C-alpha cells in the first residue's frame, strides 16, 4: 500500500492523540485544497487537535502536520481518533475503515491538478452510493460532516469484521488501481488549460492588444464590461475562472460580479478599485442559474455584460475580440465565439464557421458552439428589449438557449469563428443526471416556441433529447412515446436511436462519455 511509504517520521505523543486525523497519502500531486480546508476548520475549533498527514502537499499552518508516517503509526492514530478524513485513495480508505471509522473523504480532482486522472472521483462515488464513505466536495460539507461525526460518533463507525469479506476485496481492487495509476517518481502532469492554452490566446489574440495601442483601435475608448459569474459549491474552479477574467488582455475596465446561488458567499474574493474589481453578491431572484444570472445583470452598471460559468475559463484574447465587433457594429446586440471543450483531459474545438446566426438557424440546431460562457450582450437589449434570462424554465435548464432565441428574434447574433473559452465538461456539472428536470424543461421549450413545429429537424432534435432524458430517468413508456414523435418528424434523427439504446438497458453514462470524448453531447 503506497500510503505507508515513510520518508520522514514525526510520531505524535500517544498521550495526546489527535481528535481528527487527516491522511493525504503519498501521491506526488499536491492536495493543498484539503490542507487549507482543514486549516480553516482547526482555526475555528481551537479546542480540537487536528493532525494532517500531508505527504507532498504544503504543510498546514493551524493544524498539526507531518509529511509521512509508518503505516502502523498512522493506523494507530486513526484508531484512537474521533474522526478520520482522507483523500480518495483506495488504500487510505481501506486503512481507515479497517480501524473502525466510516471515513469522510474528499476525492482528488484531476481538473485541479490533484491527480493524474479521475479514478478517485469515480471510486469515491461508488463507495458513497453504497454508504461506505461520506464524500464531500466543499469546505462547508466537510465541516458539517466533521461536526456531525463528533456529535454522533456511532454514525461514523463500521464493523471491522465486515472488512474481511467481499467488501475488503473490492476496496483492495481499488487500492491496486491506485498503485497502477501512480508510478513512482512520475512528474506532475500539467492540468488542462496549462501548456495547451499558452500557444493559442483566443480569438483576436494575434496583435489584438497591439491594434488597440498602435492602430486605429488605439484611438478608441474601450467601454467598461461587467462579467456575471454564477456559482455554487465549486470554490476552486471559481478561482480559476476569476483568474482567467483578470488576465484578459482587454485594455478597458472589467468588473466581475460573483453571484452565490444557494451557497454561502465568500467575501475574500472581493476586490475594490483598479481595472479588475470583483463584487460578491447573493442571488436575490429565483433560486437557480437563471435567477443568479439576472441578479448580476441587474446589479451591473455597464452597457456591455458578459456571462461566464464558474467552471469555465476565458482565453486571454476573448473579450477584446468581441468588444471590437461591438465597437465596429453599434447595432449588434450580442457576440459569441467558439469553445474548446475539455472532458477527461481530452480536448475538442467546437467552432461555428459563420459570423452571423439567425432565429431560423437556432430553431434548426442548438449550435452548441454558442455557449453561455461566450455571451457578450448589450444590457439594454435585455432590460429594455427582449427581457432578462427566463426564470420560468423548470430548473433553469436551457435558459441560455432560450435567451439566444429571444435575442435572435430581434437581430442576428454575431459570432467569431475562433475558440475563446475553455469549457469544462465533468461529472460535477449541475445538470449531470437531472434527467427529469431536463425532460420537463425541454417540453416547456417546445410549448413556448410553436415555431419548432414548422422546422422538422429542430423539433426532432428537441424531442429526441426529451426521449433520451425520459429513458435515462427510467420512464420507458414516456421515452418510447417521444422516440415515436421524433422518428415521425425526422426518421434520420440519431437521438431517437440513442434513447432506444437506453431503453434497452445501455447505461446513459456510457453513451454520454463516448459523446463527450468527441466534444459532443446529446
Amino acid 141: pLDDT:
86
Residues 151 and 278 in one domain: no
Burial 189-201 (b: 16+ CB within 10 A, else e): eebbbeeebeebb
Residues 6+ apart with CB under 8 A from 290: 389, 390, 391, 393, 396, 399
- Same domain for 370 and 455, yes or no, is no
| Reduced 3-state DSSP string for 258-288 | EEECCCCCCHHHCECCCCCCEEEEECCCCCC
Is residue 199 in a domain? no
Domain boundary among 180, 197, 232: 180
Same domain, 313 and 259: yes
User: Are 420 and 453 part of one and the same domain?
Assistant: no
In the prediction, which pLDDT does 426 show?
60
Report yes or no on 26 lying in a domain.
Answer: yes
The pLDDT, as a whole number, for residue 233 is 83
Does any domain span residue 300?
Answer: yes
**Which has the closest alpha carbon to 507: 435, 437, 459?**
435
Contact 394, 437 (CB under 8 A): yes
Q: Say whether both 374 and 253 belong to one domain.
A: yes
Q: Does residue 228 sit within a domain?
A: yes
CATH number at 274 reads 3.90.550.10
Do residues 169 and 225 share a domain? no
Question: Strands 413-424 and 64-66: what pairing?
Answer: unpaired
What CATH number did the domain enclosing 140 receive?
3.40.50.2000
Residues of the chain with pLDDT under 70: 1-16, 159-220, 344-345, 426-433, 516-520
Q: For residue 246, what are the domain limits?
A: 217-424
Q: How many domains does the chain have?
A: 3
371, 502: one domain: no
Q: What angle do CA 305, 310, 316 make, to 5 degrees?
A: 65
Is residue 319, in this structure, part of any structural domain at all? yes
How many Å apart are CA 249 and CA 246, to the nearest integer?
9
What's the pLDDT score for residue 519? 65
Would you state the pLDDT for residue 184? Answer: 39
Domain boundary, last residue among 405, 424, 443: 424
CA distance 335 to 15: 65
Q: Which of 364, 394, 424 is the last residue of a domain?
A: 424
The reply to whether 295 falls in a domain is yes
Residues 359 and 458 in one domain: no
Instruction: At 505, list the grid cell.
Output: 438497458
Separation between Cα atoms, residue 392 and residue 402, nearest integer Å: 11
**87: its cell numbers:** 483523500
3-state class of 89 per DSSP?
Answer: coil
Q: Do 400 and 447 fall within a single domain?
A: no
Same domain (yes/no): 72, 139: yes
Our measurement of the distance from residue 359's CA atom to the centroid of its chain's CA atoms, rounded to an integer in Å, reads: 29
The rounded radius of gyration (Å) of the Cα atoms in the chain is 25
* Whole-Å CA distances, 154 to 96, 151, 157, 500: 15, 9, 5, 45
- 508 and 392 within one domain: no
**356 lies in some domain:** yes
Phi, psi of 134, rounded to the nearest 5 degrees: -115, 105
Taking the complete model, does pTM exceed 0.75, yes or no?
no
CA 390 to chain centroid, in Å, comes to 22
By DSSP bridging, strand 376-378 and strand 356-357 are unpaired
Q: Are residues 319 and 462 in the same domain?
A: no
Task: Evaluate whether 103 touches 133 at the Cβ level (below 8 Å).
Answer: yes
Q: Is the residue at 191 inside a domain?
A: no
CA distance 515 to 522: 8
Alpha carbon distances (Å) from 114 to 110, 121, 166, 235, 449: 5, 11, 30, 15, 44
Amino acid at each position: 500500500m503506497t500510503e505507508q511509504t515513510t520518508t520522514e517520521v514525526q510520531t505524535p505523543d500517544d498521550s495526546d492523540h489527535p481528535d481528527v486525523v487527516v491522511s493525504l497519502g503519498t501521491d506526488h500531486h499536491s492536495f493543498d485544497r484539503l490542507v487549507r480546508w482543514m486549516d480553516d476548520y482547526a482555526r475555528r475549533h481551537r479546542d480540537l487537535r487536528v493532525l494532517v498527514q500531508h505527504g507532498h502537499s504544503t504543510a498546514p499552518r493551524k493544524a498539526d502536520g507531518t509529511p509521512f508516517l509508518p503505516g502502523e503509526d498512522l493506523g494507530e492514530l486513526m484508531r484512537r481518533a474521533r474522526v478520520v478524513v482522507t483523500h480518495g485513495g483506495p488504500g487510505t480508505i481501506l486503512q481507515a475503515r479497517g480501524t473502525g471509522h466510516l471515513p469522510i473523504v474528499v476525492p482528488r480532482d484531476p481538473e485541479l491538478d490533484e491527480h493524474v486522472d479521475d479514478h478517485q472521483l469515480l471510486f469515491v462515488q461508488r463507495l458513497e452510493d453504497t454508504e461506505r464513505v461520506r464524500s464531500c466536495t466543499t469546505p462547508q460539507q466537510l465541516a458539517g460532516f466533521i461536526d456531525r461525526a463528533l456529535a454522533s460518533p456511532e454514525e461514523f463507525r463500521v464493523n471491522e469484521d465486515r472488512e474481511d469479506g467481499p467488501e475488503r476485496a473490492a476496496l483492495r481492487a481499488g487500492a491496486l488501481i491506485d498503485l497502477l495509476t501512480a508510478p513512482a517518481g512520475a512528474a506532475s502532469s500539467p492540468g488542462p488549460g496549462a501548456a495547451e492554452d499558452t500557444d493559442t490566446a483566443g480569438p483576436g489574440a494575434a496583435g489584438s492588444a497591439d491594434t488597440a495601442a498602435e492602430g486605429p483601435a488605439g484611438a478608441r475608448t474601450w467601454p467598461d464590461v461587467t462579467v456575471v459569474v454564477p456559482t455554487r459549491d465549486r470554490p476552486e474552479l471559481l478561482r480559476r475562472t476569476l483568474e482567467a477574467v483578470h488576465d484578459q488582455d482587454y485594455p478597458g475596465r472589467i468588473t466581475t460580479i460573483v453571484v452565490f446561488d444557494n451557497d454561502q458567499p465568500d467575501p475574500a474574493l472581493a476586490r475594490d478599485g483598479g481595472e479588475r474589481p470583483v463584487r460578491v453578491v447573493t442571488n436575490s431572484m429565483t433560486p437557480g442559474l437563471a435567477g443568479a444570472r439576472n441578479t448580476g445583470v441587474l446589479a451591473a452598471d455597464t452597457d456591455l455584460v458578459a456571462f461566464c460559468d464558474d467552471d469555465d475559463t476565458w482565453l486571454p484574447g476573448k473579450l477584446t475580440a468581441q468588444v471590437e465587433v461591438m465597437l465596429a457594429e453599434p447595432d449588434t446586440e450580442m457576440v459569441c465565439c467558439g469553445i474548446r471543450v475539455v472532458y477527461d483531459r481530452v480536448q475538442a474545438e467546437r467552432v461555428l464557421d459563420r459570423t452571423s446566426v439567425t432565429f431560423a438557424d437556432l430553431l434548426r440546431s442548438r449550435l452548441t458552439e454558442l455557449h453561455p460562457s461566450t455571451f457578450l450582450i448589450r444590457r439594454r437589449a435585455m432590460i429594455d428589449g427582449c427581457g432578462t434570462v427566463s426564470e420560468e424554465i423548470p430548473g433553469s435548464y436551457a435558459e441560455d438557449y432560450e435567451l439566444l432565441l429571444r435575442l435572435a428574434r430581434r437581430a442576428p447574433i454575431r459570432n467569431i469563428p475562433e475558440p475563446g473559452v475553455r469549457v469544462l465538461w465533468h461529472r460535477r456539472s449541475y445538470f449531470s443526471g437531472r434527467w427529469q428536470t431536463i425532460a420537463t424543461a425541454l417540453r416547456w421549450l417546445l410549448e413556448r416556441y410553436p415555431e419548432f413545429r414548422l422546422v422538422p429537424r429542430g423539433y426532432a432534435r428537441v424531442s429526441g433529447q426529451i426521449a433520451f432524458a425520459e429513458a435515462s430517468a427510467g420512464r420507458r413508456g414516456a421515452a418510447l412515446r417521444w422516440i415515436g414523435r421524433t422518428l415521425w418528424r425526422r426518421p434520420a434523427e440519431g437521438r431517437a436511436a440513442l434513447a432506444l439504446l437506453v431503453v434497452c438497458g445501455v447505461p446513459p453514462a456510457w453513451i454520454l462519455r463516448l459523446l463527450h470524448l468527441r466534444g459532443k453531447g446529446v
